[in-house]
Amino acid sequence: CRCGPDEPPTYLKWMTYRLTPLERAFELANSGTCTSVDDVRKQLRAEGYADAQVTGPALLKQLRELCAASRKT
């Protein structure tokens, strides 16, 4: 690779980083725009993410709590 010490390799320059569905779900829940886990799932699908990973009692509880907390602020 012909890059300087502070420069990423060439192949990384054209790669774009996309959040995982779970990362995006947490962002949405914390944003205040989604009032429920169902809203988070709908928005994920609208953005082209699969919502299959947004499942499980612990995760759903975390997302519900984030949605509720972000509405209060």
Give 13-59 pLDDT, tens digit per residue.
556 678 999 999 999 999 999 999 999 999 999 999 999 999 999 99
Q: What is the pTM of this model?
A: 0.75
Q: Distance between CA atoms of 9 and 26, rounded to whole angstroms? A: 30
Considering only residues 9 and 42, tell me which one the structure prediction assigns the higher pLDDT: 42
**pLDDT value, residue 71:** 83
Nearest to 67 by CA among 38, 45, 39, 36: 36
Task: Determine contact, residues 70/32, Cβ cutoff 8 Å.
Answer: yes
Q: What is the pLDDT of residue 3?
A: 43
Q: Pinpoint the alpha helices (H) of the chain.
A: 10-13, 21-31, 37-46, 57-72
**C-alpha–C-alpha distance, residues 36 and 40, integer Å:** 6
pLDDT of amino acid 72: 78
